Amino acid sequence: MAGSTFGNIFKITTWGESHGKGIGVVVDGCPAGLPLCEEDIQKFLDRRKPGQSRYTTQRKEEDTVEILSGVFEGKTTGTPISMVVFNKTQRSADYSEIAGYYRPGHADYTFDMKYGFRDYRGGGRSSGRETIGRVAAGAIAIKMLESMGISVAAYSKSIGGIEVKEMDWQERFNNPFYMPDAKAAKEVEEFAAKKMAEMNSMGGIIECVVKGMPAGAGEPCFEKLDANLAKAIMSIGAIKGFEIGSGFDASKATGLTNNDAFRMEDGRVVKETNHAGGVLGGISDGSDIIFRAAVKPTPSVAAMQHTVNKAGENIDVSIKGRHDPMIVPRAVVVVEAMTALVLVDALMTNMTARMDYLTDFYKNKK
Amino acid sequence: MAGSTFGNIFKITTWGESHGKGIGVVVDGCPAGLPLCEEDIQKFLDRRKPGQSRYTTQRKEEDTVEILSGVFEGKTTGTPISMVVFNKTQRSADYSEIAGYYRPGHADYTFDMKYGFRDYRGGGRSSGRETIGRVAAGAIAIKMLESMGISVAAYSKSIGGIEVKEMDWQERFNNPFYMPDAKAAKEVEEFAAKKMAEMNSMGGIIECVVKGMPAGAGEPCFEKLDANLAKAIMSIGAIKGFEIGSGFDASKATGLTNNDAFRMEDGRVVKETNHAGGVLGGISDGSDIIFRAAVKPTPSVAAMQHTVNKAGENIDVSIKGRHDPMIVPRAVVVVEAMTALVLVDALMTNMTARMDYLTDFYKNKK
Amino acid sequence: MAGSTFGNIFKITTWGESHGKGIGVVVDGCPAGLPLCEEDIQKFLDRRKPGQSRYTTQRKEEDTVEILSGVFEGKTTGTPISMVVFNKTQRSADYSEIAGYYRPGHADYTFDMKYGFRDYRGGGRSSGRETIGRVAAGAIAIKMLESMGISVAAYSKSIGGIEVKEMDWQERFNNPFYMPDAKAAKEVEEFAAKKMAEMNSMGGIIECVVKGMPAGAGEPCFEKLDANLAKAIMSIGAIKGFEIGSGFDASKATGLTNNDAFRMEDGRVVKETNHAGGVLGGISDGSDIIFRAAVKPTPSVAAMQHTVNKAGENIDVSIKGRHDPMIVPRAVVVVEAMTALVLVDALMTNMTARMDYLTDFYKNKK
Amino acid sequence: MAGSTFGNIFKITTWGESHGKGIGVVVDGCPAGLPLCEEDIQKFLDRRKPGQSRYTTQRKEEDTVEILSGVFEGKTTGTPISMVVFNKTQRSADYSEIAGYYRPGHADYTFDMKYGFRDYRGGGRSSGRETIGRVAAGAIAIKMLESMGISVAAYSKSIGGIEVKEMDWQERFNNPFYMPDAKAAKEVEEFAAKKMAEMNSMGGIIECVVKGMPAGAGEPCFEKLDANLAKAIMSIGAIKGFEIGSGFDASKATGLTNNDAFRMEDGRVVKETNHAGGVLGGISDGSDIIFRAAVKPTPSVAAMQHTVNKAGENIDVSIKGRHDPMIVPRAVVVVEAMTALVLVDALMTNMTARMDYLTDFYKNKK
């Protein structure tokens, strides 16, 4: 099926493989009149591009975005916005080796099982480069949210098991790990150096916080806001878990400790705590939305591993190339992008939740 | 928006409120020729119905299903299967109290914010009774999977923090907690008694195992099998987290410990371990699919809590009624149902993944 | 696939067979706060029910609707509205004859080819009774449109080739043909009597006019308003053609005769003519929407016809039973219903067409 | 909403404006293993490109397609196929005049009403150039159908009211009108010369015939094959009507003349006539699928017309530029493309119609 389209009213379709001509996305359903230029997109792509530090892949790719449609005189027109990043560094590498076996932890085997053959150059469609389309589309959604006073911010909560202890929000832009705790970042640095020397890799946890979200977004039953966030985040390669609010800890809590009491504050209903993570019954409650995603260690490691080849023989392999010892820092902006896509779609949908919204809207339109 | 429809080719639409005339589901896209009768559905509904033990709500409801369409001469016809459970015990309770305030941990507040008013009788659409439609539809999906040699089994992995230690697969049907460990179940019994005496509630973790799944189901990018499982499971009320395979533990692992090595066994490709949980790159890899869901404690507790009323005053409330001190045991079958729905849809979609599948299928059809 | 669900934000799912337990529909995505009761639905169902005149089937069925969910204290709640008409007159007729052969002009053969067997009782799912769900759902959409000042009215434009000559709008409720021309209706009466005596049947053309439609509804490219109207109308059994505005006559016109000139009238942009039928580039232009649908003659005729039986033999058959000599009059309300469903969905979608719509909407929501 | 995506399993998303950087399409859900190269696409684009004869626009554009993803080693990989035609002849024309008023018969006014402003360069997204994406995607669908022994062929049935009389199938490639009747084509030539001299334009009717279609494609109720064909064809700009089989003539027929009798032929069930047009109950019946589409005259004419400008004044305009005096010949291939997209999607969906299809498919997959 068509697995590369996401969203209902605000809908994106991504395309492209690691070593093809480029990677792109079509954003359809973006409202008209949003000021938009390539720089709005590029600043987000720059946060995921390779080669930002010694802790990510050393490949050099500028990942420069081009807007091909949907923007006129500096504003979105309401029609599809096509964006592309042409692959500049398609080197004529020899992939014959990798073509012949299944890399552990990768999608090589499952693509072969599903499609009968695969584009083995750098992972093809299952490569992390696929997230370029997500980030480019998410940049538009984030800009829309900003104009509604809603912010989305993710960061590394832990890497290799080393957790943020003291939150210092601004610090996350000061270290290569997007970690809002300089001391923890320093520890990660040492841990990473050790793992890299062992030709090994590490995982982590990304936390995302949405501020300024109005109550009411998300639909009962299957289109719950947290269900769609879970899908969006779990659809990012390497993500193995998702939890919102108190998450897995809720399984050990009691009703009395886990419930968030309501109280009045400045004439508004607020919650005394936020174990719910900003969503009740699948609908945003006006509090911050807070969730976490578990990122597995990069499967590509240079140390020797067991696997099988296409001839059906057990073999030992060492994955060569310039791989990320950790994906976490580059995935932070991908989490923000996917979050924004879900929020925008839910906010649009919510505009039709009440009959008076429709009558008010159309009463002056004739 | 229409949040009550789930699935693409195999599509279900649920309806009904806690205290309305009934709860139902329409299953559309079910293939023709599947033997089906009400008993096939009822046995699953019986596992979620109230009053099964002293650890679940003491309300008495038989939840008897009726098939209204889509089955003829004992087989599905390929057209929509409408099923309904009429609510028998709609008592003329006085809901005026609950109508006046927002229960902590419930969707009362968010429904009011979204829709301008709500059906306050027993939670209305956000009640756990909504899952009747999911289980009835899931029963059909499970029957389809069985005919393909695929089994779906969930159980309580932990309740109130007490975890299964020694797996005894059959034991899960021998205790009221669906816990495959008699000793752990005994501990839960004691813990539950204590919490119930405190007019409190508890949560837990449900684990689900799918056996016999062929490789190839799930679509790259956004329609990954694990992403759709996450959405399906997170869309169940009270679920706060989802993880597959090593899940959140992957965040602390390294590539070398987390990767699953491939090897040949009896002429087939298998994995030495299953940290991936049966899905690589969003596509089933032929191993068991294993995931977990975190269930929050029942928000309805009789002990006193803070909240606000619709007049905007801070008040203290005690939620009366016959509530489940734990939802986990009754949610086990809901998890199985949602899992089966996702798998069936993915398996159907995968039938069009290769051009030769189409030419083979149609070559004898003319 | 799931072919019984229609619409995107305002979504309906129908179910039921001619001779099953009932026919129903689930309407999901209906805004909260619309006053709704069974009488709002029943008055539309009464216009399609059998036995209204000697020119429609003489079966007697009251087709009484019951609302099972989604309405509370007289208003829609925003959650799914389930409606059902239980089949009262399922007579234990002997269908063994019809089960054995394929009725010409019916879906018997194609259902057998598709599903391997079929529910042969009265056409099963392909029966005209399936439209009960459409009309019930459409009644809600029509009520929504009315509250926005939009009216939908269809009528028989021609029956058996006899066309309306002088439009008399009110007259359409005065004759059994929904024909707004008493003289033409009289001619149809005579023609019909003759055809009925011959055990034959006749077709016709239904025209539909939408007044009060604001400009802007419909999406460019594939979700054009007229494209969705065409799908909606062509999805009604027995409809063989759809045209909007000048329709097929446009094929013989020139640009100068077919273009609608714009001009100012009372400070508003209007069109001097309406060859476009109220839609330009797939988007409503603020004029009346006018389209026509071709209805084929009822395929069930008592006169002798050739066909084949399931044993593969050529046979002659006479279709017994109480069939409509013409479907046109009963299809008029079905056309109105499908039209309203398309319009409501397009109007909802259009509420997100501009960025300032979103910022205006949410600026007071926090 | 996202109006630029079409199809369910086989899904396409188009983008691009008349005078933007390019026009493109992403085809998602195409099965793996289909041999595909740019020439497969180009030959269809060449049939719609401008400047093919003096009866179409004299603009010169090569419309050269590039495949950017989804094909590897000459075969589709199962992942999204991105195709683009870069606009070569974006001349720095002065559009300030056209920007200031609404062209009759065009979408200028409705785009302005919907989005608040528009890309006025050559019609922007509502330009006929948008069909490049449809044709490129349709070329893939046609190639898929060919490998299943199914052919799709459209032609001009009438232009300016001049109809094909004697069908000469091969002749349609011998005249600039795609008309399978040399004599009729000659008449059209004379008629067109006259209208062009008058600075006027003309419309016509396109007929499409599908041969080799197996029975069983199309879903009951809303996803009927003919309903989806109607939507697909009506979504092409300038199409004002759609009819299948006997179409509008059915409205004047009787059951006895319009029903197609079944009979046995060489051990197969066939129909003696084909008034149904190959579809019964929304499902293909194994006969040829035959339908017609009404094309309006090109709205851009150089002769003087009334309209209004954005200042709200009544003005007279003459649309300058190199416009098609008729769209029909170039639209023929667009009709074929849209038809193929619908058929492929329906054929894929039909593969899941029976439970034994699933069990057969998966029994050897484990």
| Buried-state track C15-53, b at ≥16 Cβ within 10 A, e below 16 | bbbbbbbbbbbbbbbbbbbbebeeebbbebbebbbbeee
Q: What is the mean pLDDT of residues C152-175?
A: 96
Which residue is associated with the tokens 């009464």?
Answer: C46
Adjacent-strand bridge partners of A83: A25, A67
Cα angle D83, D89, D94; round to 5: 130
Q: In the A/B pair of chains, how many CB contacts fall below 8 A?
A: 401
Q: What is the mean pLDDT of residues D157-161?
A: 98
Q: What is the mean pLDDT of residues B156-164?
A: 98
The answer to whether C296 contacts D224, with C-beta atoms less than 8 Å apart, is no
Alpha-carbon distance A116 to nearest alpha carbon in chain D (angstroms): 8
Q: What is the mean pLDDT of residues D106-125?
A: 92
Q: How does pLDDT run across B102-135, given as a tens digit for each residue?
A: 999 999 999 999 999 988 888 899 999 999 999 9
Helix, strand, coil shares, percent, chain A, to 5: 35, 25, 40
Sorting pLDDT into bands at 50, 70 and 90, what band is B39?
A: very high
How high is the mean pLDDT of chain D? 94
The answer to whether C200 contacts D305, with C-beta atoms less than 8 Å apart, is no
Q: Is the pLDDT of residue D336 over 60?
A: yes
Sorting pLDDT into bands at 50, 70 and 90, what band is A172?
A: very high
| A2 chain-B contacts, CB cut-off 8 A | 219, 223
Which tokens go with A319?
Answer: 């994955």
For C24, the 3-state DSSP assignment is: strand
The pLDDT of residue B51 is 79
| D145 chain-B contacts, CB cut-off 8 A | none
Q: What is the mean pLDDT of residues C105-134?
A: 93
Q: In the C/D pair of chains, how many CB contacts fall below 8 A?
A: 400
Alpha-carbon distance C71 to nearest alpha carbon in chain B (angstroms): 9
Q: How does pLDDT run across C273-319, given as a tens digit for each residue?
A: 999 999 999 999 999 999 999 999 999 999 999 999 999 999 999 98
The answer to whether C215 contacts A29, with C-beta atoms less than 8 Å apart, is no
Q: What is the mean pLDDT of residues C92-105?
A: 82
Which tokens go with A226?
Answer: 């947290």
Dihedral (CA of A329, A331, A334, A339) sign: negative
The pLDDT of residue A91 is 60
The answer to whether B76 contacts D355, with C-beta atoms less than 8 Å apart, is yes
Give me the DSSP letters along B113-166.
HHHSS---GGGGGGSGGGHHHHHHHHHHHHHHHHHTT-EEEEEEEEETTEEP-S
Q: Which of B33, B349, B352 sits opposite D355 (nearest CB)?
A: B33
> Left, alpha or beta for C116 (phi > 0: left; psi -120 to 50: alpha)?
left
A213 contact partners, CB below 8 Å, separation of at least 6: A150, A278, A284, A286, A287, A288, A289, A343
Chains near B with 3+ CB pairs less than 8 A apart are A, C, D
| B1 chain-C contacts, CB cut-off 8 A | 8-9, 11, 29
% pLDDT > 70, chain D: 98
% pLDDT > 90, chain B: 87
Nearest CA in chain A to C365: A214
Element (H, E) at C293: strand C289-295
Cα separation, C273 vs C269, in Å, equals 12
Alpha-carbon distance C53 to nearest alpha carbon in chain D (angstroms): 20
The pLDDT of residue B90 is 59
Q: What is the mean pLDDT of residues A276-304?
A: 97
Neighbouring C-beta atoms of residue B40, cutoff 10 Å: 17
Alpha-carbon distance B68 to nearest alpha carbon in chain C (angstroms): 5
Burial class (CB in 10 A: 0-12, 13-18, 19+), D56: buried
Alpha-carbon distance A222 to nearest alpha carbon in chain C (angstroms): 12
Cα separation, A54 vs A24, in Å, equals 27
Which tokens go with C332?
Answer: 């008029």
Q: How does pLDDT run across B234-277, given as a tens digit for each residue?
A: 999 999 999 999 999 999 999 999 999 999 999 999 999 999 99
Q: Which of A220, A251, A264 sits opposite B158 (nearest CB)?
A: A251
Q: How does pLDDT run across C344-356, given as a tens digit for each residue?
A: 999 999 999 999 9
The pLDDT of residue D298 is 95
| D262 chain-C contacts, CB cut-off 8 A | 102, 104, 109, 306-308
3-state per-residue secondary structure call for A280-308: ECCEECCCCEEEEEEECCCCCCCCCEEEE
Residue type, D198: E
Assess contact for D341 and D7: CB atoms under 8 A.
yes
Element (H, E) at A334: helix A328-350
Nearest CA in chain C to A366: C214
The pLDDT of residue A322 is 73
Q: Which of B276, B297, B300 sits opposite A254 (nearest CB)?
A: B297
How high is the mean pLDDT of chain C? 95
The answer to whether D224 contacts C299, with C-beta atoms less than 8 Å apart, is no
Q: What is the mean pLDDT of residues A285-310?
A: 96
Q: Which of B5, B16, B33 sits opposite C13 (nearest CB)?
A: B5
Nearest CA in chain C to D160: C252
Q: What is the mean pLDDT of residues D102-115?
A: 96
Sorting pLDDT into bands at 50, 70 and 90, what band is B206?
A: very high
| D216 chain-C contacts, CB cut-off 8 A | 110, 113-114
Cα separation, C23 vs B318, in Å, equals 43
Nearest CA in chain D to A17: D69
Q: What is the mean pLDDT of residues C52-58?
A: 80
Q: Which is nearest to C137 in space by CA: C350, C348, C344, C347?
A: C344
How high is the mean pLDDT of chain B? 95
The answer to whether B9 contacts D352, with C-beta atoms less than 8 Å apart, is yes
Q: Which of C16, C75, C78 sits opposite B69 (nearest CB)?
A: C16
Nearest CA in chain D to C317: D261
The pLDDT of residue A98 is 82
Helix axes C328-350, A355-362, angle to 10 degrees: 80
